Chains A and B, each alone.
Chain A
Amino acid sequence: MRCDLKEAQERAKKVRMVVHDIHGVLTPNVVYCDQEGNRRYEFWHMDGFGDLSLSANGIIPIFLDSTSVDEEGLYRARELKLEKYYYKVAPQDKAKKLEEIKEEYKVSDEEICYVGCELYDLPFMKKVGFAVATADAPEEVKEVAHYISSLPGGRGVMRELCEFILRAKGVWEEWVDKVTKMGYK
């Protein structure tokens, strides 16, 4: 870990919204195509726990999807009952959409955590208070990150990040205890 952990924790403390795309973060950026033309995408069970835990602790998880090929991002958000935080946009409209979301939820750049995995994430990562890169992101992306996850996309990045943020805020132990006894409600 070459990031300054203390600094990352300070930044994480202020986070009120976590923004991520689908492929490369929630998935390993892979599509399986079978001989009938069916397509299949790979997600990670415990990343759902990550986004749900953020949401339950008052941190808004935004699925800003500009990478879905079919509707896989929507299916995932829907399954987690986080559909209200799901936005599908063309890549060129992503910045504009994020401005609208900030307005709607009254959050500032400083309060946003953005999770990136590719070059197209750089403008967002440079702007926000807490920038996170996946373990398998290119060098340029890791360079601007305040925190680099130990896991690659589709293998628990959101699970790891959720723990990091909730620990920084000092609510992790209590949350795990609660969810263990009572579930997500």
Chain B
Amino acid sequence: MQHIKIKEGAIVREGAIEKAKKVRFVVIDIHGVLTDNTLYYTHDGIKSERFSLKDRLGFRLLNEAGIRTAFLTSKISRADQAVGKIYGVPEEFLWGSSAKMALTSEMQQKYGFTDEEMAYIGDEMIDLGMMRRAGLSIAPADGSPEARQIADYVTSVGGGMGVVREVAEFILRAQGKWEEIISKVF
């Protein structure tokens, strides 16, 4: 296995680095990945969620490297739109459908990318289909046992604690672009 710097506590399964080299599109489940699963409701019925600002850099670095990022969740809420703006994910890449597999096929047609070129970050059993399909599958440290078991890469951090920041670094290091992108951004 090729050696690149890996974050302490992460699990990198055999072949993950080779798979990461091919990634051009990172598709991300929201709840449990960008959040810790917690939903807050105020007394007057406003729902809110907690997102990590660490992930903002992750999205930026991926985009700088020409790797596209998309949200994929059952329904895009206004909170998801707001955080999409903060993370720099364009409106057209906020994908909402409970039939994730079918919508992904549609988007692959539209934007021209294959399963092999797709990384998918998911945390639950309902993400397993997408994880098996994606060239590179990733689960957060506190994902369901099934998701962690089949993932090519398990992050050292839990959902909502900077998963995308860590994944971006892994993919860019695997692709040999890390130093270049970092020097471009900072």
Give A contacts to B, CB under 8 Å. 32, 38-46, 49, 69-72, 75-76, 79, 156, 163, 176-177, 179-185
Contacts and interface: CB of A to CB of B under 8 A. Distances in A.
B128 A156 contact: no
A36 to B, nearest CB: 11
Query: Interface size class for chain B?
Result: 20 to 34
Interface of B: 31-32, 35, 37-45, 47-48, 74, 97-102, 124-130
11 contacts: A38-B42, A40-B41, A40-B42, A42-B38, A43-B39, A46-B31, A176-B126, A177-B129, A180-B125, A180-B127, A184-B74
Given A40-B41, A79-B47, A180 B35 contact: no
Given A180-B100, A180-B128, A39 B40 contact: no
B74 A40 contact: no
A45 B100 contact: no
Given A46-B124, A49-B126, A180-B128, A40 B40 contact: yes
Given A38-B42, A38-B43, 5 more contacts: A45-B38, A45-B39, A179-B98, A183-B98, A184-B74
A79 B101 CA distance: 23
A163 B145 CA distance: 13
Given A44-B37, A45-B37, A183 B74 contact: yes
Contacts of A184: 74, 98
Contacts of A72: 41, 43
Nearest to A78: B45
Contacts of B35: 45
A22 B130 CA distance: 32
A180 B38 CA distance: 22
Nearest to B101: A181
Contacts of A41: 40-43
A25 to B, nearest CB: 15
Contacts of A43: 38-41
A49 B40 CA distance: 16
A75 B45 CA distance: 6
A180 B129 contact: yes
Given A46-B31, A49-B126, A180 B43 contact: no
A76 B46 CA distance: 11
Which of B32, B126, B128 has its CB near the most chain A CB atoms (within 10 A)? B126
B82 to A, nearest CB: 17
B4 to A, nearest CB: 32
A172 to B, nearest CB: 9
A70 B43 contact: yes
Nearest to B97: A183
A41 to B, nearest CB: 5
Contact of B39 (A44, A49, A179): A44
A116 B44 CA distance: 26
Nearest to A179: B126
A43 B47 CA distance: 10
Contacts of B37: 44-46, 156
A123 to B, nearest CB: 29
Given A38-B43, A180-B126, A45 B99 contact: no
